[in-house]
Amino acid sequence: MDVRAVQVEVRESIAHVTLTQPERGNPFDQAFCSQLCEAAIECDETPGVRAILIRAQGKYFSVGADLKWLGADRALLPRRLKAATADLHMAISRFARCDAPVVLAAHGLVTGGAVALTAMADFAVAGRSARFYAAYNAIGFVSDGAGTYFIPRRVGTRRAAEFLMLNQMWSAGQAAEYGLISRLVEDADLEAEAMALARQVASGPTKTYGEMKRLLLSTHDQPLETQLEFEARAISQCAKTDDSWNAIQAVLAKRKPEFSGR
């Protein structure tokens, strides 16, 4: 029987992406990476998706890499990693560049690639008992899943180096203080808070969010004048949307703007 590692369900303009192997701790293996890539494409290609909410079933958000899978065949391991990261990295890229903002709800243990996934999310909400464990150096690996891209952007390069190279584990409080997560809530409130945030962004100007996400991705890499041109082009794209025009008219008429995502 094929047990799905990742499931997607779209409800009320929100794509619910759920890690669904709680009995295994939602590990990262070939099947998981492949299905996460499928989920990212579905979110990006499904009309009407205006927010993405990533959650996990079970005690842990994710235990990270499946060590049994990694340790099964030394000769094949490099090939398996190249195949798995091809899917994982495409998933990360699609989530990061799609219009819909990504909200992630972290609970329990968040390990390795799951920390990178947390850092990628536009908004990361964590329950107070969550823990974030680097894990890579414990098995002689470097970070994948854009961990070396997003974690330094969230917490700074020196703190990222300490976390990854010294194999640290951060409490949810530390993760909030350092900037890895955006909101720290009580465990009992995690689901409600993450859902409320997803609903909030799902009611906003989706195309504008997409332009802003892509501008933020380039902010550390481009010269000033290039980033300025990217901004000019992005704001011009926003001006072509119904949401932007209707919002301008609403503000002129002293009404609250309502956005349709178009």
Average pLDDT, the chain: 96
| pLDDT reported for residue 38 | 97
Mean pLDDT of 69-92: 95
High-pLDDT (> 70) share of the chain, %: 99
The model's pTM is 0.95
Instruction: Find how far residue 21's CA is from the centre of its chain.
Output: 19
pLDDT at 129 over 90: yes
pLDDT at 1 over 80: no
Mean pLDDT of 100-107: 98
Q: What is the DSSP letter of 107?
A: -
Mean pLDDT of 100-123: 98
Written as one letter, the residue type at 203 is: S
Note the pLDDT tens digit of each residue in 208-220.
999 999 999 999 9
pLDDT at 78 over 60: yes
pLDDT at 200 over 60: yes
Mean pLDDT of 74-99: 96
| pLDDT reported for residue 2 | 58
User: What are the DSSP E strand ranges found in 5-135?
Assistant: 6-11, 14-19, 51-56, 102-106, 109-111, 123-127, 131-133
pLDDT at 86 over 90: yes
Predicted confidence band at 3 (pLDDT cuts at 50, 70, 90)?
confident
pLDDT at 186 over 60: yes
Mean pLDDT of 73-90: 96
Predicted confidence band at 179 (pLDDT cuts at 50, 70, 90)?
very high
Mean pLDDT of 149-172: 97
Go through the chain and tell me how many residues it has. Answer: 262
- Contacts of 188 by beta carbon, 8 Å cutoff, 6+ apart: none
* Half-sphere exposure at residue 21, Cβ-oriented, CA atoms within 13 angstroms: 19
CB atoms under 10 Å from CB of 219, counted, come to 11
